[in-house]
Amino acid sequence: MNEMRFALIGCGEIGGLRAEALQKSPGLKLVRACDVDAARGKALAAQHGVPYESDWHAALGDDVDAVLVSTPPPLHTPMCLEAFRLGKHVLCEKPLARSPEEGRQIVEAARAAKRHLATGFNYRFYPAIAAAKSVLDSGRIGELDHIRSYAGHPGGTEFTHAWVHDVKVMGGGALVDNGIHILDLTRYFLGEVVEVKGFRTGHVWSFEGCEDNAFALLRNSRGNIAQLQASWSEWRGYRFRIEVYGTRGCVRASYPPMYADAVWSEKPGGPMRRERFFFPALQIKERLKSYRFTVVQSFIEEFAGFLRAAQGQATPAASGHDGLRAVEIAHAVYQSSADGGTVLFPA
């Protein structure tokens, strides 16, 4: 295969940024733009010099190797299943599915088709997160002990689409919206989650079936704990933070602004050293071009990972399994909140 040729389904807010990133990604090429909203789809197709298609089935022609699913979640399952039936690779936006059952169907279809399924967890490629991960992996802060993580935005239809607050569309609230990214990042640092306990509350916005805050305790098989919150009542605006504590120090990454720092000692009780990670070039470009600059950069790196993964190589990019696990953990938090119990996953 010379270039991996993509059809984009869904030319909305994220689809537009995905198209821009695809065109800047070596080895990848956008060949079709599809949206039921003709004005939107045609405008994006014209911007990138590719044909427009209104019917997503017709967008999956023989000239397409991979599909980018960037529609609201109820369409993720039928679109992914059809793409795999036709032998395409798929990058599907988060949340992978509205429920664990739908997610399992998608993952199983990818496995049966022997095609690559990726989930759009692009925060893994935010430079502060990459810096924090390399600090943990270097062993500088010792062995992993525990994690605190948080993601929030103000919620409500002034901040985001009305459909994001519809349980029939999303399968839940803050935890499967912005929270699904921090769930993935937490699991990225923690390793596989075997036990979940959680609470959800909905007194702020009162969107039926959608929590505006979710609180979770996650445990991995080695006994390390993560404490996580996802919120739709972060009145100061969009932000997330992850703090990873080890036996000899800690590393913390946050956005916005993009920043990470690490403190550690060579031995317990020894003098503390500190390293700060600033990203001034990114901050200047973000100031000029908005947060979209950062998102597009992360998509470009994610696409490079997608290409490597489809060729069977290792990459930090999130797989379909990662997307499914995030949905399963979110729904375990819902179950725990409803019945007061603890949800166990086989190690």
Ligand X SMILES: NC(=O)c1ccc[n+]([C@@H]2O[C@H](COP(=O)([O-])OP(=O)(O)OC[C@H]3O[C@@H](n4cnc5c(N)ncnc54)[C@H](O)[C@@H]3O)[C@@H](O)[C@H]2O)c1
What does R_g of the chain's alpha carbons equal in angstroms?
Answer: 20
> Binder to ligand X among 5, 88, 89, 94 (CB under 6 A)?
94
Map residues 240-269 to x or -, x wherever contact with ligand X holds by CB under 6 A: ------------------------------
Among all residues, whose Cβ is closest to ligand X? 12
| Residue 217: Cβ-neighbour burial (10 angstroms; 0-12, 13-18, 19+) | middle
Q: Is 305 in the site for ligand X (CB under 6 A)?
A: no
Smaller CB separation from ligand X, 27 or 72: 72
Min dist CB 313 to ligand X, Å, is 22
Residue among 224, 234, 270, 233 at smallest CA distance from 254? 234
Min dist CB 69 to ligand X, Å, is 8
The β-bridge partners of 30 are 6
Q: In 3-state terms, what secondary structure has residue 8? A: strand
Please list every residue from 16 through 75 that binds ligand X, using CB under 6 A: 34-37, 40, 56, 70-73, 75
> Binder to ligand X among 3, 13, 143, 208 (CB under 6 A)?
13
The β-bridge partners of 90 are 67, 117
Distance CA 166, CA 172 (A): 8
Please list every residue from 125 through 184 that binds ligand X, using CB under 6 A: 161
Tokens linked to 123? 């925060």
> Binder to ligand X among 122, 149, 213, 315 (CB under 6 A)?
122
Q: Are 182 and 242 in contact (CB under 8 A)?
A: yes
The piece of 5-13, 216-224, 324-332, 335-343 that touches ligand X (CB under 6 A) is: 5-13
Min dist CB 76 to ligand X, Å, is 7
Smaller CB separation from ligand X, 73 or 246: 73
Smaller CB separation from ligand X, 149 or 220: 149
Min dist CB 325 to ligand X, Å, is 17
| Residue 340: Cβ-neighbour burial (10 angstroms; 0-12, 13-18, 19+) | exposed
Q: Are 230 and 183 in contact (CB under 8 A)?
A: yes
Beta strands at 117-119 and 249-255: parallel, antiparallel or unpaired: unpaired
Distance CA 92, CA 10 (A): 11
Smaller CB separation from ligand X, 37 or 101: 37
Smaller CB separation from ligand X, 159 or 278: 159
Q: Is 120 in the site for ligand X (CB under 6 A)?
A: yes
Q: In 3-state terms, what secondary structure has residue 103? A: helix
> Binder to ligand X among 7, 9, 21, 242 (CB under 6 A)?
9
Q: Is 323 in the site for ligand X (CB under 6 A)?
A: no
> Binder to ligand X among 32, 60, 91, 93 (CB under 6 A)?
93
Smaller CB separation from ligand X, 169 or 194: 169
Min dist CB 82 to ligand X, Å, is 12
Q: How many CB atoms lie within 10 A of CB 113?
A: 18
**C-alpha 178: how far from its chain's center?**
8
Query: Percentage helix, strand, coil, to 5, in the chain?
Result: 40, 25, 35
Our separate counts of H helices and E strands in the chain read: 10, 15
Min dist CB 176 to ligand X, Å, is 9
Min dist CB 288 to ligand X, Å, is 21
Q: Is 10 in the site for ligand X (CB under 6 A)?
A: yes
Distance CA 66, CA 69 (A): 10
Contacting residues toward ligand X, per CB under 6 A:
9-15, 34-37, 40, 56, 70-73, 75, 93-94, 120, 122, 161
